[in-house]
Amino acid sequence: MIFTGDAAKNRAELVCGATDMTYDPAVSAAAVARIWSLWRARPGNVVVPGHDIPMALKDGGPQYLAGREAAIEAWFGDDLDTMTTIGLVVE
């Protein structure tokens, strides 16, 4: 397993090789390239980005190993026990 921390925060950074919110884009691009090198070196290796779900390589590209979920929970009622969940995933 490769835990990337914030070197690659999500799949988008891994796929495009660029990172968001970095002090040095060249250093960050080199870190993402190194992650790919390690990932490809061992078949079956699993990568866990800093803020995304685990993935493995399938046919040379990332494949999620879990479902992606995103939602907002909010209190719209008169008490703290009743939460409303607003799903954000488009399928």
**pLDDT for the residue 5:** 94
Q: State which residues form the domain around 3.
A: 1-91
Number of domains in the chain: 1
pLDDT above 70: residue 91: no
pLDDT band at 89 (very low <50, low <70, confident <90, very high): confident
pTM for the whole structure: 0.77
Residue found under tokens 């995304």: 52
For 7-54, what is each residue's pLDDT tens digit?
999 999 999 988 988 999 999 999 999 999 999 999 899 999 999 999
Mean pLDDT of 60-78: 90
DSSP of the chain: -EEEETTS-SHHHHHHS--SS-S-HHHHHHHHHHHHHHHHHSTT-EEEETTS--EEEETTEEEESS----EEEE--SSSTT--EEEE----
Torsion of CA 35, 38, 40, 43, to 10 degrees: -130
